[in-house]
Amino acid sequence: MSPIMPEVKAVPNVSSGGAEPLPAGTDVPSTAVLSTRDLNVWYGISLALRDITIAIPRNQITALIGPSGCGKSTLLRCFNRMNDLIPSARMTGEITFEGLDLNSAETDPVSLRRRIGMVFQKPNPFPKSIYQNVAWGARINGYRGDMDELVERSLRRAALWDEVKDKLNKSGLDLSGGQQQRLCIARTLAVDPEVILMDEPCSALDPISTARVEDLMDDLKSEYTIVIVTHNMQQARRTSDMTACLMLDDGAQHGHRTGIIAEFSPTDRLFTNPKDPRTEAYITGRIG
Dist. CA 252–CA 232, nearest whole Å? 26
What are phi and psi for residue 150, nearest 5 degrees?
A: -65, -40
Residue 145 near other proteins by CB under 8 A:
no
Distance in angstroms (rounded) separating the CA atoms of residues 152 and 126: 18
Q: Smallest distance, Å, CB 34 to other proteins?
A: 16
Q: Name beta bridge partners: 266.
A: 242
Between 187 and 257, name the residue whose CB sits nearer to other proteins: 187
2 binds other proteins (CB under 8 A): no
C-beta of 37 vs 114, nearer to other proteins: 114
Q: Taking the complex as a whole, how short is the minimal distance between the CB of residue 156 and other proteins, in angstroms?
A: 19
The Cα 161–Cα 183 span in angstroms is 9
Binding segment (CB under 8 A) for other proteins, from list 122-130, 149-157, 262-270, 276-284:
122-130
CB of 122 to other proteins, least distance (A): 6
Asked whether position 82 contacts other proteins by CB under 8 A, the answer is yes
In the complex, minimum distance from the CB of residue 135 to other proteins, in angstroms, rounded to a whole number: 11
Q: Which residues of 46-70 are buried (b: 16+ CB within 10 A; e: fewer)?
A: ebbbbebbbbbbbbbbbbbbbbeeb
Strand order, beta sheet including 116-119: 100-101, 89-97, 32-43, 46-57, 259-266, 242-248, 61-65, 225-229, 195-199, 116-119
Burial of residue 115, with CB atoms counted within 10 A of its CB: 0-12 exposed, 13-18 middle, 19 or more buried: middle
Binding of residue 203 to other proteins (CB under 8 A): no
| Interface residue with other proteins, options 80, 96, 210, 267 (CB under 8 A) | 80
Q: Residue 44 and residue 3: Cα distance in Å, rounded?
A: 9
Q: Which residues pair with 228 in a beta bridge?
A: 63, 198
The correct pick among 122, 165, 167, 170 for binding other proteins (CB under 8 A) is: 122
In order of 27, 85, 119, 278, the CA distances from 260 in angstroms are 16, 23, 23, 11
What is the closest distance, in whole angstroms, from the C-beta atom of residue 175 to other proteins in the complex?
A: 15
Stretches 22-30, 32-40, 124-132, 241-249: which one binds other proteins (CB under 8 A)?
Answer: 124-132
Q: Is 111 a residue that touches other proteins (CB under 8 A)?
A: yes
169 binds other proteins (CB under 8 A): no
Q: Which of residues 171-190 bind other proteins (CB under 8 A)?
A: 173, 184, 187-188
Query: What is the binding site for other proteins (CB under 8 A)?
Result: 80, 82, 85, 87, 110-114, 117-118, 120, 122, 124-128, 136-137, 140-141, 173, 184, 187-188, 191
